[in-house]
Structure 1
Amino acid sequence: MTLAEIQAKLEAGIEDSTVTMEGDGCNCSTLVVSPAFVGMSLLARQKMILATVRADIDSGELHALSIKARTPEEMT
């Protein structure tokens, strides 16, 4: 699984998101910025992101994903 494929899944799964990826296809990190995270705890944000790639994690295509989830306001 490529970083571009993971990025596309995250962008499709998280409303109005901007996704930045680093690493390689099976062990990578992401920064997801979306207004959908407003009012959510960090754990709830991570669960939302992981839900979009759960099938890839379960199949072993994606081994590890380090997550940073921010609202646009948290980036300023």
Structure 2
Amino acid sequence: MTADDLRNLIASGLPCEHLQVEGDGRHWSALIVSAEFEGKRPIQRHQRVYASLGGKMETDEVHALSMTTLTPAEWAARRGE
């Protein structure tokens, strides 16, 4: 699994305004900005991302994924817009 592979998996299952993925092939971190996160608690947002990965977490193709999940408004606020 490469960063591009993981980015493509997430993007194919979740419309993202911004998506940044970094990692070493087993341990990943992702910054994911999606309007689908509006009104959802952090655990619901993470579940939505896991759903976009299909079974990749269960089969250990993605061993660990640390996520920052933001709405477009939260992302804009973080950037000072």
The answer to whether TM tops 0.5 is yes
Gaps of at least 5 residues in structure 1 are: none
Name the CA distance, whole Å, in 2 between partners of 1:75 and 1:21: 16
Q: Secondary structure at the residue paired with 2:74?
A: helix
Which residue type is aligned with residue 32 of structure 1?
I
Superposed, 1:54-73 pairs within 5 Å as 54-73=54-73
Moved more, 40-49 or 53-62: 53-62
8 Å Cα contact 1:7/1:20 also seen in 2: yes
Count residues in correspondence.
76
Higher helix proportion, which one? 1
Per the alignment, residue 53 of structure 1 pairs with 53
Name the CA distance, whole Å, in 1 between partners of 2:39 and 2:19: 19
User: TM-score, normalization: structure 1?
Assistant: 0.90
8 Å Cα contact 1:10/1:52 also seen in 2: yes
8 Å Cα contact 1:11/1:17 also seen in 2: no
Q: CA RMSD in A?
A: 1.2
User: TM-score, normalization: structure 2?
Assistant: 0.85
Pick the structure with greater CA Rg.
2
8 Å Cα contact 2:32/2:70 also seen in 1: yes
Cα deviation digits, residues 44-74 of structure 1 (max 9, x gap):
0000001122411111111000011001100
Q: Secondary structure at the residue paired with 1:59?
A: coil
Which residue type is aligned with residue 74 of structure 2?
E
Per the alignment, residue 6 of structure 2 pairs with 6
